[in-house]
Structure 1
Amino acid sequence: MGEHGNGDPKSGAVITAGEGESGKYALENPGLPPHRPRLADVDEKAAKRAERQVSVLFLISIIGTVVFFIGYFVVGVTEGDLQLLRLQNTLLGLGSAFAMLGIGLGVVHWAKTLMPDHEVVEDRKPLRAEADREEAQKILTEVVDETQIARRPLLRNTLIGAALLAPLPAVIMFRDLDRSENFGVERMRHTIWEEGVRLVRDPTGTPIRAADLTIGSAMHVIPENLREIQSHGQRLSEKAKSVVLLMRMNPADFKQVSPGREDWTYEGIIACSKVCTHVGCPVALYERHTHHLLCPCHQSTFDASQEFKVVFGPAGRPLPQLPITVDEEGFLVARSDFVEPVGPTYWERGNA
């Protein structure tokens, strides 16, 4: 290959753009196209008109939210009154639609008519530690100037009003999904696990003997008293927060046993809540060699050998551990309920 010069870039076998005779094949950088100013860029009356249009769209969003509130709080629906029910659904639907549509179209129209649309090329340069703060301040100032919020108070005030009100319909509707008296963190503070309740397989309801579990095995279990709940909806709700992952390890593999938890396991058998402490996804993947539990939603990883401590991912606290033992017949039973709330971590939740 080297004998014929094919590997030598100067042999002439390869045409190199921009050098010698081959320069005629090179393409020059065409640069940016000339900027065409919009009407609002050169005519302040047009800019004012665009500002009013954007503000009207934000006002439509505010009105839509008010219509939603009227339908939700003012229109009272009695059982069997289909007319009022249709009216309420219409107000709720139109109100939430206009609340979202108004603020969305307003932001789009604002960007198209008032925010700068010229293209900018910025050379990459190394950051200097002493200039970081000044550079960040300059960027923030430029962003505020480009939005024109400072000099267009009508636009700013209507945007703030729409942005504050628009999310409220969604918050209210989600809150209204549960009308029970103990809504909130108290609902997750307690489950139907209690002392003496057997751990059974799901869905067969078969009790589990400690002798039947081998080292490295893991299974999904539920409380035996779940079958006593007659209401299908309540049974599903209780099951969702009571599901447990049961596994057996070599007792020598436990790296951490906190004071007071010495009797929470039985001959290497350990149990924890399956509800991830991040956003409540089911933790279902167990790696027997590392003793890690993985949540498939956001990859939070918990270590069963360290009382389900978080070793990776966004979860903020360990999986709650269920204290277990065996009864007189050798079946696995709970010592008590979880000692802390199960499920995602909220700002209003404590550990007690």
Structure 2
Amino acid sequence: MSDDQIAVPEPHATPATTGGTDTIDRFDNPGLPPHRPRRSDVDAKAAKRAEHQVSALFTLSVLASIAFAVCYFVVDPNLRGRLILIGPMNLYHLILGLTMAVSLLGIGLGAIHWAKTLMPDTEIAEERHLMASDQASRDETAGVLSAGFREAQLDRRPVLLALTGGALALFAIPVALPTIFGLGPLPGDTLESTVWKRGMKLMIDPSGTPIRPEHLTQGTVVHVMPEGFVGDNHEEDGPSALEIMEAKATASVLLVKLNPGDIQSQKQLDWGVDGIVAYSKICTHVGCPVALYERQTHHLLCPCHQSTFDMTNDCEVIFGPAKRPLPQLPIMVENGYLVAADGFAEPIGPSYWERG
């Protein structure tokens, strides 16, 4: 017999041999270790105490789920505060996160404690064999499930069973509420218009510096926002943080200084100032920020799907999946600064089914 035919038995296993040779045929089944009952298996008081502990954990989950729902509608989404070792943060998000965590933790700890103390823990070994699907086997399976239901004491502990179902059912609240209501307010007219209005200064984002035409040289590219919507505006009469976020998603503009001789469209010349033109940064494909400008070709590229726009010809699409040109923002000079002459004349952003 070659060396690779030698089998080494595992520790504490007694090999059985055949035919008087040293070749190992099988190992005797060592069987299962003796079952060690838990305290709750032999002490009714311990079992009742474990039931109360599991009930308390599921009750904690139920209360946390209800607290999540209440806080979701009652607490101000813009509530902010400062925490030790963390610094300033949005307390609304913190409260929702903690209540959701406690709700899920109560379910998890309750299920684990239930399994450790009350559910049967007897070791069972099932021999592998073909499972017939006749009626007798189905009846046997139903009997096993019924016995397991009784052994888990579900029939004797209705409060525990009810709290388990309640905790699992109410945990859907922290999942469903953000899904249903967390998508933000209805768009209203934001799909058709932006916050840009006549006379609004063009402000460099994020510094908030107004722009004079003489400060721009040919080829200059500047990211701008309307006055009052730049950075974190904390003025009492100014827009809220949510309004600033919405403005950044819809009113972002790219300002470029071109050579007037390179511009092919009269509209661009009329809506610009000495070759300075302003276009929406929101790609008309799926809304990615368009911000890659090729100075030599005057092409504007979207980094997401490579839609390419010609800035010398009304930002027409010359490559990629976008179907519409970028909308132009008419600008003018007022008191020496660049300001909007009006809002966008057409909807910004990607096309949608109701847009002609």
Higher helix proportion (structure 1 or 2) = 1
Q: Which has the larger radius of gyration?
A: 2
TM-score scaled to structure 2, two decimals? 0.48
